[in-house]
Amino acid sequence: MSGIETLFALTDATDVLIVQEDVAVRTAWASVLRKAGYVPHPLDSIEALFEALLAGLHWRAIVVDLGFRGPEATVFLDRLRQEGHPIPTILTAWDHAVGKSKSAKAYPGLAFAPAPLQAKDLGDSICALPAPPPMDAPRPSSGIVIAHRPEGITKKVGRENSSLLPHAAAAKAEAEKAAAEEARTPVRDVKMDRELERAREIQARLLPETISQPEGYEIAAQYIPAEEVGGDYYDVIELPDGRVAMLVADVSGKGISAAMVMVMARTVFHATAPHAQNAKKLVMNAAASIARDLPGGIFLSLAGGILDPKTGEISIVNAGHMPPKHWSLMDGKPMVTDIDVSGGAIGLVKGPLLERTLKDATFILQPDEQLVFYTDGVNEAMDIRNEEYGDKKLHLAVKKFGGSTATEMAQGILDSVLYHRGDAPASDDITILVVRRIS
């Protein structure tokens, strides 16, 4: 029996681990799986999943639907594989690029399903997965990715049914074709692959694990990297006097050089931010150090602010970046305006000229008002017809989700961008940072 045929062998395993944060969704999924003849084990977190895997049961499948974005999904897959749990897995994520990532291709028996996963699809999707390895089987070193959600399979596979289901057969043929194409493809530079993976790790670690929430305010962010290591960076820095600095930046390059610039810029901003009287000083204090170490032809644009939670005063600066959007109510009607500040990007404009061109604005953020910072990966996101998401759609999204929480605003904008992009590949990172005054 070939390796591909082994993947589609029959199995008696029926225990399924399902990971979903929403208790109502978990309950519905468990009900559907029981009716399909499986034994569901509902869990609410990744850590609970890894604890459950220690039980040593012969698991049929793992279903993970936690709304993964960007590096979260690849980090999870790498950990699952490295800890020796090669169990067939259905993974959902909002970003379609996750299914094409190196981590996904390295995981045996992975089915990638664009989020959200519907309960009615669960039984069929698990049924079409390859069989899990025997309890005493050695850990496989590679596997086959099934990058589609099976439909139309209504009968659970049993030992009495020795033929492959149509979708499984199609997946097998697709896998064989991919294997043949891979055999004809020149071997990539292993060292370069490792460097790119390292750059991705660096990029992920730069972003805040948690975001400070000043009393009376909400701050939320959404970030999805493109397939290639990009240059987006956001940060929320607590200052010693109680103020909070917020940044959204974009390095003009990509790959390892962009990741290195991000590391350097983050270090400089964290060192200089405590001494900044306002947002313009925040940029000027950091600009000389950053520009001095930028590689030739590389520059850094950013939009940011410094908020005083006690007074609501916020100063805004824009160095060659997208203008922040301000949501407010005027006579009870929602209004969205661009914060009219501008200036040159760091590395593109230097020294006294940068200081002269850099404009800032200071105002009081009133209760329920919101500010949205973002990178050009938002308004320049392309659909399959090469049409940009554009500022008009972004304006409408901010208007639509204004008045909600900062988390809902950031999520709503991201969902709108991803809906526009559809199946088109990600051409750039997407970063959104929202601050809302709630009292």
More confident of the two residues 427 and 362: 362
Q: Is 0.75 topped by the overall pTM? A: no
More confident of the two residues 136 and 41: 41
* Residue 191 to residue 211: CA distance in whole angstroms: 35
Structural tokens at position 418: 């991803």
For residue 16, what are the CA distances in angstroms to 19, 39, 53, 256, 259? Answer: 10, 6, 11, 39, 39
Compute the mean pLDDT over every residue in the chain, rounded to the nearest whole number: 80
Which conformational region is residue 345 in: left (phi greater than 0), alpha (psi within -120 to 50 degrees), or beta? beta
DSSP state of 328: E
Q: CB–CB of 316/279 below 8 Å?
A: yes
Q: In the prediction, which pLDDT does 435 show?
A: 98
More confident of the two residues 352 and 225: 352
Domains of the chain plus CATH, in order, are 3-184 (3.40.50.2300), 203-437 (3.60.40.10)
Q: In the prediction, which pLDDT does 25 show?
A: 79
The label of the residue with tokens 């959902």 reads 92
User: Is the dihedral angle over the CA atoms 354, 360, 263, 82 positive or is it negative?
Assistant: negative
Q: CB–CB of 401/408 below 8 Å?
A: yes
Q: CB–CB of 100/147 below 8 Å?
A: yes
The label of the residue with tokens 């709108």 reads 416
Structural tokens at position 150: 């099976």
> Which segment, 59-73, 132-146, 291-305, 306-320, is predicted with the most confidence on average?
306-320
Q: In the prediction, which pLDDT does 149 show?
A: 30
Q: CB–CB of 94/114 below 8 Å?
A: yes
Sequence-ordered list of residues with C-beta below 8 angstroms from that of 203, at least 6 positions apart, any chain: 71, 225, 229, 230, 259, 262
Over the stretch 337-371, which tens digit does the pLDDT of each residue have? 999 898 999 998 888 899 998 989 999 999 999 99
User: Is the dihedral angle over the CA atoms 386, 390, 396, 402 positive or is it negative?
Assistant: positive
Q: CB–CB of 311/439 below 8 Å?
A: no
- Look at strands 39-43 and 15-19 and give their pairing: parallel
Q: In the prediction, which pLDDT does 180 show?
A: 55
Structural tokens at position 41: 């084990």
Model confidence at 115, pLDDT cuts 50, 70, 90, reads low
Q: CB–CB of 197/418 below 8 Å?
A: no
Q: What percent of the chain has pLDDT over 70?
A: 78
Structural tokens at position 3: 């390796």
